[in-house]
Amino acid sequence: MESEETPARWEGLPSWLLSQTAHHAHRLVSDGFSSVGARGYHYRLLATLEESGPASQAALGRRSGIHLSDMVATINELADRELVERAPDPSDRRRNIISLTSAGKRQLRRLEKRLAECQDELLAPLSPEERQRLAELLSRLRDHHDRRTRIPEEPGR
Amino acid sequence: MESEETPARWEGLPSWLLSQTAHHAHRLVSDGFSSVGARGYHYRLLATLEESGPASQAALGRRSGIHLSDMVATINELADRELVERAPDPSDRRRNIISLTSAGKRQLRRLEKRLAECQDELLAPLSPEERQRLAELLSRLRDHHDRRTRIPEEPGR
DNA sequence: GCCCAATGTTTGTATTCCTAACGTTTACCT
DNA sequence: AGGTAAACGTTAGGAATACAAACATTGGGC
């Protein structure tokens, strides 16, 4: 009966546009990742591991922005597939030392490749200059709100 | 031991920037909404109701983009607070007709006010021209991917 | 030696989006 | 008319991301 064209009133709101485009981006990326049997946390953890080298779960969580609670499952999943190794720290028995295996490194290469392809697909309708400007505007927004959000934590330390 | 400054390698990726900014936007908006005891679905449903007038749950779901499964809970919550009314459709006993109460309309006004404030806070670091360009770029991305996503559904009907 | 902090872990919450199944009711088709 | 297909409302649950709270173990500062 109704023709279901819904130019809803919120369609133009910046917050809505952000949600929608982020949703599309997330779909692209997580489809890309899942085609290799991974998800976002896996990539973030593997990438952090390659940058930082072996480290404790807590340190990895801080660097990757993954919550400690979620690190456990993420590492379990990666360790099950031997992309990552969990070994007790001999110098601190509270800690596990997580390290990247060579299979993990190969997986990371695959994920990075997918990720790059996704960026291109995501930005397909924009020219190189427009992509640049978009990234710049988004960075400004993120930096602004990151500062508003982050814990003050005494800056002398 | 490590100084935890993590300029992770994915920080500059467009998909990541979108996720982050959308996350900030979502936090702002949903904080704004929850200060009036509502959430995103509530606003979308109320706004759709005001635009479309009374309608069945399925029709509202299509127009608002809210999944049918989630409509039930959303309407329950709004009906509990008498912001919305659920009445059986006499001409089709499968359907409920949902309509906006005057309290619901007042709530919608409140939500719209919060929403507008949030847009401003979200875009605070950008000039009016920059806001315009951001919206334009995001719209292009969204439209592009909306078309790729939407079901072909025969265009004659 | 004590106390506090850090660590790893489990459990549980919330939101958004989505799938699947089910019973009821209506619509269509022959 | 009869039978099948479709729409509707509902319930239940899963996946991904993000977070809070509690807990036992261990280290380190004092």
**Contact across the interface for B17 and A142, Cβ inside 8 Å:** yes
Straight-line distance from CA B67 to C1' C23, in Å?
A: 20
Cβ-Cβ contacts under 8 Å for B6 (sequence gap 6 or more): A48, A51, A62, A63, A64, A65
Residue B152 has pLDDT above 70, yes or no: no
Over residues A116-153, the pLDDT tens digits come to 999 999 999 999 999 999 999 999 999 999 887 764 44
The mean pLDDT value for B126-143 works out to 96
What's the confidence (pLDDT) of residue A9? 87
Over residues A33-65, the pLDDT tens digits come to 999 999 999 999 999 999 999 999 999 999 999
Tell me if B109 is assigned to some domain.
Answer: yes
Tell me if B57 is assigned to some domain.
Answer: yes
What secondary structure does DSSP assign to B102-140, as a single string? HHHHHHHHHHHHHHHHHHHHHTTTS-HHHHHHHHHHHHH
Over residues A64-96, the pLDDT tens digits come to 999 999 999 999 999 999 999 999 999 999 999
Tell me if A96 is assigned to some domain.
Answer: yes
* φ, ψ dihedrals at A152, nearest 5°: -50, -35
- Full domain range(s) for residue A74: 35-122
Q: Which tokens in the block code for residue B104?
A: 């619901």
How many C-beta neighbours within 10 Å does residue A108 have?
A: 20
Which nucleotide across the nucleic acid strands is nearest to B44, CA versus C1'?
C16
Chain B segment 26-45 residues within 8 A of A by beta carbon are 26-29, 43-44
Instruction: Identify which of B86, B81, B87 has the alpha carbon closest to the alpha carbon of residue B104.
Output: B81
Q: What's chain B's length in residues?
A: 157
Question: Which SS3 state, helix, strand or coil, does residue B20 take?
Answer: helix
What is the Cβ-side half-sphere exposure of residue B113, based on CA atoms within 13 angstroms? 8
Q: Could you tell me how many CB contacts below 8 A there are between chain A and chain B?
A: 178
* Residues 82-101, chain A, CB closer than 7 Å to nucleic strand C: 86, 89, 94-96
Classify the complex by whether its ipTM is higher than 0.90, answering yes or no. no
The one-letter code for the residue type at A153 is: E
Q: Which residue of B has its CA nearest to A121?
A: B145
Based on its alpha-carbon atoms, the radius of gyration of chain B, rounded to whole angstroms, reads 20
CA–CA gap between residue A78 and residue A71 (Å, rounded) = 10
3-state secondary structure chain A: CCCCCCCCCCCCCHHHHHHHHHHHHHHHHHHHHHCCCCCHHHHHHHHHHHHHCCECHHHHHHHHCCCHHHHHHHHHHHHHCCCEEEEECCCCCCCEEEEECHHHHHHHHHHHHHHHHHHHHHCCCCCHHHHHHHHHHHHHHHHHHHHHHCCCCCCCC
Residue nearest to nucleotide D27 (CA to C1'): A92
* φ, ψ dihedrals at B9, nearest 5°: -70, -15
Tell me if B8 is assigned to some domain.
Answer: no
Tell me if A6 is assigned to some domain.
Answer: no
Which nucleotide across the nucleic acid strands is nearest to A86, CA versus C1'?
C8
Over residues B105-122, the pLDDT tens digits come to 999 999 999 999 999 999
| Among the partner residues B8, B52, B134, nearest to A64 by beta-carbon distance | B8
Tell me if A157 is assigned to some domain.
Answer: no
Tell me if A17 is assigned to some domain.
Answer: no
- Judging contacts by C-beta atoms under 8 Å, the chain B residues touching residue A29 are 15
Cβ-Cβ contacts under 8 Å for A130 (sequence gap 6 or more): B137
B114: domain CATH number is 1.10.10.10
Band of residue A5 on the pLDDT scale cut at 50, 70, 90: low
* Number of separate domains in chain B: 1
Tell me if A44 is assigned to some domain.
Answer: yes
